[in-house]
Structure formats: C-alpha cells, structure tokens
Chain A
Amino acid sequence: MVEPLIEFKNVFKKFDGKPVIKDLNLRIMPGELFVLVGSSGSGKTTTLKMINRLLEKSSGTITVAGKSVDDYSLTDLRWKIGYVLQQIALFPTMTVAKNVSVVPDMQHVASRQVRAMVDNLLAEVGLDNDFRNRMPSELSGGQQQRVGIIRALAGKPPIILMDEPFSALDPLARESLQKLILKLHTKYQNTIVFVTHDMDEALKLGDRIGIMKNGRLLQVDTPKDITNNPANEFVADFFSHNRYSDLNKILVNQVIEAGFMVTQRNDDQARSAPSIEKTSNLKEVLRLLASAPLVRIIDGRGKTVGYFDNESIIRFLSTI
C-alpha cells in the first residue's frame, strides 16, 4: 500500500481560544492534485498553512513523508514545499530571474545551472527570455502569477501549496493558468494542495476534492463521486440537479456559498449597479442582469457583500 505524502491526524487549530479547525483527518497521496474548497471562514487556508508551518496547529499531528512537520528544521520543511500565494507577492526589488532563483540560490546551486533552469521554467510557462531582467511591476497580473508558480517550482519540491492562486486574476488569465497547472502537474508529477472557494475550479482541477465548512471536512472524494453521492445536504446543495432545476428555488445565498460571487469591484459600474438581497433568488438576479452588467448583493442591513456579473452567473449555471 502506498503511504500518504501528507497526513493530518486529529488536528485542531484555535485562534484566541476559538476553534477554527475541528478534528481534521486527511491523507493526501503522492502525485495527487488535491483541492480544498469552501467559502471564506471554512478553514481551508488555515489547513493549508499548517502544512508548511506558516501557522502552527494547536494539537494533533501533521506528517510529511512519514515524519512529523515538527521534526523538520523549518528551512528543510519549506524547501520541500513550494508555495504560491493569492497576492502573488513577488519580491518587488528583484528581477524576474532573481525571484525565480530565490530557493536554488539559498541551496547553493551553481549559478550556471540556476540560469539554465530559470530559462527552462520561463519557457515552460510561456514567457520568453526577455522577461529575465524585468521587474515584477512591469508584468501583468497573469504574467506575475506565472512567475509566482515557477518560483515555487524552482527548488524542485515534491509538494506545492497553492492558496487561491487565481482568484485575483481576470477570467481569461485564470482559464489559461488552470490549464497550465494541469500541464505542469502531469509533467512534474508533484503533489499539489490547491485551495479555492470556486467550485467550478475545484471540479476542473482536482484529482480529489475536500469540501470544508466551519472548520470541518465534510467530504473527500473524486469530483465524480462528490457530484453523484454528496455526503450530506450541504454538499448536496452544491451539486444537486433537483435543487437547481427551478431557478426560483435557488437562493442568492447558495450561489455565494458555491463560490461564484465577485468580491472586489470599485468602479462606476459597481456604484450604479442595482441591488438585491442575499435572501432573494436566482431568477430575480437574472432579471436584473438582463438590463445591467452588474448586480450588487446586500445583506439584511443593506451593507454590500459582493457582486454578480454575467460571467459569474453563467459559470454557476454551467455547474448545474
């Protein structure tokens, strides 16, 4: 039997005494692309950051390659695990090439070797050699995240953690980067733990998907099994054809929880957008979208919580 590469056993995490991860048990196998999906506050990012100890668990054990993460030196552990952030966070004072070679430089890899590797990796993500000496600020968001991905790959880590890496990107860039991840995963056969709030993305990428809510792991299964045999009503809410068959019965809330809300819009369109309550239904949303490019979602007290645009709703409908 194959041993899991990453394993959580009875893991708890508390922030200021409040439990945010409750009794987490999870085995991630070598070579898997594992997606953790859930709405904000579900504990998926916390789970991810406990693997490379950016956050420390409160109790329980987490093992990487059969050894507890506490028994690694921090540097050894983190060199085994690449990391890609939602904020991308390239080092702004370094060129693209310097950013990519941060880890190999620390590992004292010969500079000629590092040079060749940087060229290879840039080519791998569709950036030519001219990008070597550019500064991060000169790149588009999508280009920056390509660099962010190969920065994580450069140390040849067996594991890569990705924390909502594409949620700040526009739909086109997101689409092509999702394809890129699948291609790289097939090529390098590394183990990826991918966090997203976007169910569509989870279904597209995951070998297996773990669904989290309120600090608990509700179900872990292949995309197919999850859609066919949801473990409980909440999971079923995401995928049930019956529930979504009548647009009148799909609540705005459910669409939000499925991860199809646009959170950040600060333009004129957003200010003039018609508003809709979280308790309203999808039919009403579609009616408003017929005459406006954007709909503003408000809570019971009239506070804006986010937006729907045509694209987010169409993507939601495509999951039904």
Chain B
Amino acid sequence: MHDFVQTFIDRKAALVQALGQHLAISFWALLIAVIIAIPVAIWVRRYPKVAQVILQLTGVLQTIPSLALLGLLIPFVGIGTVPAIIALVVYALLPIFQNTYVGLTEIDPSTEEAADAMGMSPSRKLFRVELPMAMPIIISGIRTSMVMIIGTATLAALIGAGGLGNFILLGIDRNNTSLILIGAISAALLAIVMSYFITILQKMKFRNVVILIGTIVVIGGGFAGYTAVSQLNQKVVIAGKLGAEPEILINMYKDLITAKDPRLDVELKPNFGKTSFLFSALKSNQINIYPEFTGTVLETLTHSSVTPKTPAAIYHLGKQQLAQQDQMTYLKPMAYNNTYGIAVKDSFAQRYHLKTIEDLQNVQGKLKAGMSMEFMDRRDGLKLVERRYHIKFPVKGMEPELRYRAIHDNQINLIDCYSTDSELRQYHLTVLKDNKHVFPIYQGAPLMTQEFAKKHPQVVSSLNKLAGKISEKQIQQMNYEVNVLDQSPASVARHYLVKHHLIKE
C-alpha cells in the first residue's frame, strides 16, 4: 500500500498526461462512432435485410481481437493515435448501431401513423417523435460502447498512442504492481465518470447537448491542430522501446543533443512500443531517432541471410543494408553487448574459479540449472552452448523472474540471463565469458533516416560521442538504479554523462 501511494505521488504528472491522452482518444473514437452508426441505423431502418447484413458485419468486426486489428492497421495508417482511434471506432459501432436500429424499429406503428396524419415531414417526424422515443435505448448503446472504448484504449499504448495503457505496460515490463494498478484503476474510474457524464447529457435538452459537444470538438480540434502545427516546428522526436534501458539511452541522447545546441526542441517518447512499431514510425517520420541493436537489425529489419562473427562486422553489414534498403543512417554503436549470458552467483564463481563458460566443464557434476523456456528452445541458445562447450547439466524450465529468486535461494546455481539485466547487480551474479561467440551480438546504436542525418549534422556528431562507451557493468548498474532503486531514467542518464565528462554539469 505504501508502495502504491509513493508510486502514485511520483507519477502524478505522468498520470494526468496519460488520463488526458486516454480521454482524448476515447472521446474522438466515441464521437466518430456515433456520427457513423446513428445515421446509418436511421437510413437502414426501412430495409430490414440491409440492416441484418450490417448487424452481422459489425458483429464480425467486433470479434477481431483488438491486438490483431491494431496490427492490421499499421501498414495502412502507421502508428500512433490515428490507428488507435480507428480500431476503437470499429469496436464501438455495433452497440450504437444495434440499439439505434432496435429503438427506431420498435416504435408503435400507430404513433408513426399519428405523426404522419398530423402532416409531419419525415425529418420532423424523425427529430420530434422517433429519435426522442428511441433515445433511452440509443443512449444505453452509447454507454456500452463508451465503457468498451475506455477499456480497449489501454491497448493503444502498444502502438504509441499513449494513454493509461502506458502505465499498465510499464508496470508489466518492470514487474511493478503499483503501476499496473494505477493504470487499471484510473481506466475504471474514467469509465464510471464518463458514464455519469452521459447520464447528465441525457437529462439536458437536445440543443444544449449539441452545443456542448460542439464546443468540446472545437476546443479539442483546435488543441490537436495546434499540437500538429507546433510539431512541424523543427522538433526532434526520440523514441525508445519498452523498459528502463532504452529510456536511459534516449535521455542521454537528449542531454547530448541539447548540450551542443540548446535551441533545439527535443521530445522524448519512452516505452513507445516494440521493434516493428518504432521502425515504421521512423520511416513515416513520426519519430526521428531511436536506439536499435545491431543483432536486431540483421535479424528483424533487414532479414540478412548471413550473420558475421565479429561485433564490428555485424555492425557494418547492418549499417550497409539499412542504408541500401531503407535509406537509414545507423550511427556508431556503444560498447556493451546486450545478449544472452550464463550466470552464476559471485560466491560460486569465486569458489570454483569460474570466469568463462568453458570453466564449467570442471564443475559439471555440481550444476543445477534453471533457464527460460525461450533460451532452452532457441537454436543459438542452450543447445549450441552444450555442443560448442561440450558440457551437460540438468536443467529446469522456469519463468524469467523466478530464475533470479531461485538462484538467490540456492535452489539452483546456474541461470541464463540478458547480459544487462539489473537483477545481475541486485542478486550479485557473475556472467561467464562466451569466448567461442555462441551468442549473437546485440550492440546499441542510434538509428535515423539519411534525410534527418543530413539535415542535422550537429545531432549526429553529438550522438557519436557515445560510440564505444558504456560497459556491460555500467549499464547493469544504471538499469539497477532505475528498476530497483527507483531513480528517474533522466537523472541516471545525466549522472553518467557528467561523470564521464561527456557533458558539463
């Protein structure tokens, strides 16, 4: 509980921003859904067959898993707010359409006849008689859609649209329950507040509702327009993948860039998404720079058919392929290699003089390993280690988080890991050296378009200051400070840069 309150206080500003984003996405999605669904329902109410087809269609749309829909939209509309709103609109259509249709078609025919006999025109009949009679059921459809939208909008964070989902994703990534709770509870509260707001709208006169919604649209539209215009204004946007490490790196980028050119406006988008989201955002100029690993470039971005052995060769091949295939500039990498590793307790390493993976041959009988399923399954994982180093030991498959607990409690004495995990520092573990280069190389370096690099030579030279810097120990330490000691990535990044004389205090 104390953790929860502390996290809440620390993140208040971020929470307000996320709430604002969440509310904006939900509002636009709901408004667009209403503007589409209600007129269509009004139009098809005289054609029951067409209505049935549309009901089926919107029903099918609703069964598409939201993640899949977001993924499908990326090639067409890219990432960010627009695809998030489109996906939410798709989900919101069915309840609004269905309720409007049912509400209108269930009106007593004799009431319709009375309106006709009074000489009402079809539009007057619609607005004075039919819509008011159907209103309660239409409103309940809108409310259903609204609750659904606010819930589903948490997934918008996955494609860089922000919102309360950022808290939940970050919480899952950092194994921080307080963050998850803050995100989830805020979304639930938002749904309750909006539901109450709709109840108030329902009691207001129709004309006033239109005026109120119109005002919100004008203000919201103006704000969105202003943001869009100000973004054209030579701003450098740096994004990072999920997690503490990318967030530390992009804070370093920002500090280095503004140290050289203080007038440049740099905006950070931490926890922006996964590799493919970031890469397509970079291509469509929604972001300008993000840190990417050399191994990932060859594996995922350029689909290289060969993988060279040395770190330098991997970097150069990746750089060359990115330049040719995607007109990208890939700056020089940092020193550390964020790859798989095999770790033992510091004390265990000392007692048996273990420095490299080869050294394990001498203690084979004493080993009890706990490893992640992924590592056990990969061709370049455990299987290759056993073959190349001629060692064999009993292994249990475990959840990644559980491995660290288990080795800490001496239930096992050998685990797989990522070489920059903060837990290595937290639980005093030693990573054994991979002399035979079994594990692929993953070195981080800034990625940007050639066009951007040409336009901003001073940014390129600022970022190149990080080339060959930051060891594995150092990045482990920094990850530890953010993940475990709960320091802000910005202050951790700045501290490193100052300490190593890359920027002045």
The answer to whether A and B come from one shared complex is yes
| Residues of A near any B CB (own CB < 8 A) | 52, 54, 74-79, 81, 83, 85-87, 89-94, 102-103, 106, 151, 155, 161
- Is the CB–CB distance between B129 and A78 below 8 Å? no
Tell me, rounded to whole Å, the shortest Cβ–Cβ distance linking B153 to chain A.
33
Tell me the bound Cα distance from A106 to B117 in angstroms.
13
Please, which residues of chain B bring their CB within 8 A of the CB of A77?
119
- Is the CB–CB distance between A52 and B117 below 8 Å? yes
Please, which residues of chain A bring their CB within 8 A of the CB of B118?
78, 83, 102-103, 106, 151, 155
Asked whether A106 and B110 contact (CB < 8 A) given A91-B115, A92-B133, A93-B132, the answer is: no
- B114: Cβ under 8 A from any A Cβ: yes
B116, closest chain A residue (CB): A54
Complex partner residue of B110 from A87, A94, A103, CB under 8 angstroms: A87
Tell me, rounded to whole Å, the shortest Cβ–Cβ distance linking A80 to chain B.
9
B129, closest chain A residue (CB): A91
A90, closest chain B residue (CB): B114
Asked whether A85 and B119 contact (CB < 8 A) given A92-B133, A93-B132, the answer is: no
Contact code string B117-132 (vs A, CB < 8 Å = 1, else 0)? 1111100100011001
Complex partner residue of B117 from A83, A90, A94, CB under 8 angstroms: A83
- Is the CB–CB distance between B117 and A78 below 8 Å? yes
- B111: Cβ under 8 A from any A Cβ: yes
Tell me, rounded to whole Å, the shortest Cβ–Cβ distance linking B126 to chain A.
13
Chain B contact-residue range equals 10 to 19
Taking CB atoms and an 8 Å cut-off, the chain B residues in 445-461 that contact chain A are: none
- Is the CB–CB distance between A85 and B113 below 8 Å? yes
- Is the CB–CB distance between B110 and A85 below 8 Å? yes
- Is the CB–CB distance between B119 and A75 below 8 Å? yes
B107, closest chain A residue (CB): A92
Please, which residues of chain A bring their CB within 8 A of the CB of B401?
none
Tell me the bound Cα distance from A227 to B117 in angstroms.
34
A-B contact pairs, 22 of them (CB 8 A): A75-B119, A75-B121, A76-B119, A77-B119, A78-B116, A78-B119, A79-B119, A83-B117, A85-B110, A85-B114, A87-B108, A89-B108, A89-B110, A91-B114, A92-B133, A93-B129, A93-B133, A94-B132, A102-B118, A102-B120, A103-B118, A106-B124
Contact code string B130-170 (vs A, CB < 8 Å = 1, else 0)? 00110100000000000000000000000000000000000
Question: A74, A89, A92, A155 — which one has the most chain B CB atoms within 10 A of its CB?
Answer: A89
Please, which residues of chain B bring their CB within 8 A of the CB of A90?
114
Tell me, rounded to whole Å, the shortest Cβ–Cβ distance linking A65 to chain B.
16
A75, closest chain B residue (CB): B119
Please, which residues of chain A bring their CB within 8 A of the CB of B110?
85-87, 89
Please, which residues of chain B bring their CB within 8 A of the CB of A78?
116-119
Please, which residues of chain B bring their CB within 8 A of the CB of A79?
119
B136, closest chain A residue (CB): A93
Tell me, rounded to whole Å, the shortest Cβ–Cβ distance linking B58 to chain A.
27
Tell me the bound Cα distance from A151 to B121 in angstroms.
17
Please, which residues of chain A bring their CB within 8 A of the CB of B120?
102, 106
Tell me, rounded to whole Å, the shortest Cβ–Cβ distance linking A68 to chain B.
18
Contact code string B475-494 (vs A, CB < 8 Å = 1, else 0)? 00000000000000000000
Please, which residues of chain A bring their CB within 8 A of the CB of B117?
52, 54, 78, 81, 83, 85, 161
B134, closest chain A residue (CB): A93
- Is the CB–CB distance between A54 and B133 below 8 Å? no
Tell me the bound Cα distance from A103 to B124 in angstroms.
12
